[in-house]
Amino acid sequence: MQDNQQPIIMAGKPVAAALNDALKERVARLNAAGVTPGLTAVLVGEDDASQIYVRNKARACERLGLSGQVIRLPDTTAETELLDVVAELNADRTVHGILVQLPLSKQIDEHKVIAAIDPDKDVDGFHPVSVGNLVLEMPGFVSCTPAGILEMLKFYEIETSGKHTVVVGRSNIVGKPMANLLMRKDRTGNATVTVCNSRTPDIGKFTREADIVIAAIGKAHFITGEMLKPGAVVIDVGINRIPDSSTEKGYRVVGDVDYDSALPVVSAITPVPGGVGRMTIAMLMHNTVLSAEKSSGVNDV
Ligand code: GUN
C-alpha cells in the first residue's frame, strides 16, 4: 500500500449500476421505436456453472427490459443440429444477440460453431471477425469480461497509459482480448503488456514488476502478496470453488488472487465475489442493446 493510504476495493456493483442506468434509457428509446432488444442463449448439456451463468443472463435481460430466451439442448446434440439452430437465430430479426454458452460437448467443434454466428449478432465478441476488429482497433463487439474490466478501470480512474500491465492467463475469452485492449491507442490502453501463461517459469518475476496485474489463470489463490509490487492495482478475474465445510453448500468462491495477503500490498483490488463478475453480464447487456441499435438505426450509432 502506498503512502499509508487504505487500498481501494473496486466493487463491480456501482460500475454495473451506472452502465445499467444508461442502458435503460437506450432501451426505452428502442422500445418507443417498436424495438425490443433480444438475446438468445444456447445451452448444450447440464454443466452446473453454465446453468448458473445462463440463468443470471436471463435475469439481467428481464431487469433491463430485454427479451431473453434460452434454448436448452441435450448433451448428445450433434454439431450439425447446433449449426442449424445458429442458422435459424441468424435469420431471426427479433434476435439481436446470440450467445452459445461454452464449454460445448466434446463432439462439437467450438470454433466452427462460433464462426457460424452472424458477426453482427456476436455479442460475446468471440467470432474471428470480432477478434480481428479488436486487434486492428476497429469498431466491433468486444469480449464481455475484458470490456467490463476496462469499464472498472475507467470508473475507478486507474491510469493505464505507460503502465506495465501483466496479464496472467491467455484464454480466448479473457487473457488475449484483455492484452489487446490494453495495447490499444485509447484512453484505457497505451499500456506495456506482458502475457504470462501456465508454462511461464516464475510468474512472480513478472508480476512483481507490474503496475497492474490482471489475474485470469483459473487457479485459486495463485497470486499472493509477495508476488506483487507495493502499490500495484490488481484485477482478479478468477471464479474458483474451494471446499468449505462451514458453508451450507460445502464450498466457497474465491479468486485467482490470495486476497488476504494481497490487500496490505496493493493500492487497489477487485474482490471476489463482488468484483469483475458483475461486469461480464452488464457488458453482455450493453452489446445486445448496441446490436439492436445498429440493426434498427435507433439511437444513431
Ligand atoms: N463460458 C464462460 N464464460 C463465458 C462467456 O462469457 N460466454 C460464453 N458464451 N460462454 C462462457
Instruction: Return the ligand 1 atom nearest residue 102 CA.
Output: 10
- Tens of pLDDT, residue by residue, the chain (301 residues): 545 689 999 999 999 999 999 999 999 999 999 999 999 999 999 998 899 999 999 999 999 999 999 999 999 999 999 999 999 999 999 999 999 999 999 999 999 999 999 999 999 999 999 999 999 999 999 999 999 999 999 999 999 999 999 999 999 999 999 999 999 999 999 999 999 999 999 999 999 999 999 999 999 999 999 999 999 999 999 999 999 999 999 999 999 999 999 999 999 999 999 999 999 999 999 999 999 999 999 977 6
Residues carrying an active site annotation: 57, 101, 124
144 CB less than 6 Å from ligand 1? Answer: yes
Nearest CA to ligand 1 atom 11: 102
10 CB less than 6 Å from ligand 1? Answer: no
Pick the CATH number of 142-278 from 1.10.1040.10, 3.20.20.150, 3.40.50.720, 3.40.50.2300: 3.40.50.720
Listed residue (15, 19, 120) closest to 64, CA to CA: 19
Best mutation site among 39, 42, 99, 108 for ligand 1 pocket (most ligand atoms within 8 Å of CB): 99
290 CB less than 6 Å from ligand 1? Answer: no
What pLDDT score does 48 carry? 87
Residue 205 alpha carbon to ligand 1 centre in Å: 30
Instruction: Return the ligand 1 atom nearest residue 284 CA.
Output: 6
What pLDDT score does 299 carry? 77
Nearest CA to ligand 1 atom 3: 102
Residue 101 alpha carbon to ligand 1 centre in Å: 5
Residue 132 alpha carbon to ligand 1 centre in Å: 19
CATH code for the domain defined by 32-132: 3.40.50.10860
What pLDDT score does 3 carry? 55
Domain ranges (residues) in the chain? 32-132, 142-278
What pLDDT score does 4 carry? 64
Best mutation site among 70, 173, 178 for ligand 1 pocket (most ligand atoms within 8 Å of CB): 173
Half-sphere exposure of 16 (CA within 13 A, CB side): 21
pTM of the complete model: 0.96
What pLDDT score does 175 carry? 98
